[in-house]
Structure 1
Amino acid sequence: MKSGPVAQDELTAAPTPPSAAARLDGIGAYLPGVALSAGVAAVAMGIRHFVPTLSPLLVAIVVGALVANLVVLPSSFGPGITFTSKKLLRVGIALLGLQLVLSDILGLGWGVIAMVVAIVVLGIVGTMFVGSLLGLSWTQRVLIACGFSICGAAAVAAADGVVEAEEEEVLTAVALVVIFGTLMIPAIPLISNALGFDETEAGLWAGGSIHEVAQVVAAGGIIGGTALTVATIVKLARVLMLAPVMAVLSVKQRRRTVEQSTTSKRPPLVPFFVVAFLVFVAIRSTGVVPAGVLSVASWMQTALLTAAMFALGAGVRVATIKKVGIRPFILAAASTVWVATIALVGVLLV
Structure 2
Amino acid sequence: MPPSSPASAKRSASRLAAPVRGSGAVGRALPGLAWCAAAVGLTLVLHHLVPTVSPLLVAVLLGVLLTNTVGLPAVAQPGLAFASKRLLRLGVALLGLQLVLSDIVSLGVGLCLTVVAVVALGIVGTCAAGRALGVPAGQRLLIACGFSICGAAAVAAADGVVDSDEEDVASAIALVVVFGTAMIAAVPLAATVLGLSTEQAGLWAGGSIHEVAQVVAVGGALGGSALAAAVVVKLARVLMLAPVLVVLGWRQRRTTRARGATSHPPLVPLFVLGFLGMVALRTTGVLGQPVIDAAQTAQTVLLSAAMFALGCSVRRSALRKVGPRPLALALVSTLIVALTALTGVLVST
1:178 and 2:161 are equivalent in the alignment? no
Amino acid at match of 1:321: L
Q: Confirm or deny: 8 A CA contact 2:52 2:214 kept in the other structure.
A: no
Partner Cα separation in structure 2 for residue 35 and residue 168 of structure 1: 23
Query: Where in structure 1 do 4 or more consecutive aligned residues deviate above 6 Å?
Result: none
Q: What TM-score comes out, normalization by structure 2 length?
A: 0.89
Task: Tell me by how many angstroms 1:319 deviates.
Answer: 1.9
- Letter paired with 1:197: L
| 2:24 matches 1:25 | yes
Distance of aligned partners of 1:166 and 1:56 in 2 relative to their CA distance in 1, 3 Å threshold: closer
Matched residues in 1 for 2:302 and 2:65: separation? 20
AA paired with 1:326?
Answer: P
Cα pair 2:135 2:325 within 8 Å, conserved = yes
CA contact (8 A) 1:48 1:54 kept: yes
Q: Deviations over 1:291-316 (max 9, x none)?
A: 22112111111111122222223334
> What letter corresponds to residue 55 of structure 2 in structure 1?
P
1:303-342 matches, within 5 Å, as 303-342=301-340
Report 1:1-350 matches (<5 A): 23-263=22-262, 265-350=263-348
Deviation string for 1:100-142 (max 9, x for gaps)?
0000001111110000000000111101111111223322222
Tell me by how many angstroms 1:286 deviates.
0.5
Flag the structure with larger Rg: 1
Quote the residue 1:10 is aligned against: none
Supply the RMSD in Å over aligned alpha carbons. Answer: 1.7
Alpha-carbon contact 2:67-2:313 (below 8 Å) kept: yes
Using the TM superposition, name which of 230-239 and 46-55 deviates more: 46-55
Query: Taking every aligned residue pair, what percent have the same amino acid on both sides?
Result: 58
- Indicate the residue corresponding to 1:15 in structure 2: none
* SS of alignment partner, residue 70 of structure 1: coil
Task: Give the structure-1-normalised TM-score.
Answer: 0.89
Residues 52-61 or 303-312, more deviating: 52-61
Q: Give secondary structure in 2 for the equivalent of 1:266.
A: coil
Contact 1:176 1:332 in 2 (8 A): yes
- Following superposition, the deviation at residue 194 of structure 1 comes to 2.1
Q: Offset of 1:225 from its aligned partner?
A: 4.6
Worse-matched range after superposition: 177-186 or 204-213: 177-186
Distance of 1:168 and 1:279 partners within structure 2: 32
Question: Which amino acid letter does the alignment assign opposite residue 103 of structure 1?
Answer: S
SS of the residue 1:29 aligns to? helix
Aligned pairs, how many? 328
In 1, Cα distance between equivalents of 2:305 and 2:276: 23
User: 5+ unaligned residues in a row in structure 1: which ranges?
Assistant: 1-21
Q: Summarize deviations over 1:160-203 as a string: whole Å, max 9, x none.
A: 12212222222221222222212212211222122222221111
Deviations 1:78-109 (A, max 9, x none): 22122212210111110000000000001111
Counterpart CA distance in 2 for 1:109 and 1:293 is 29
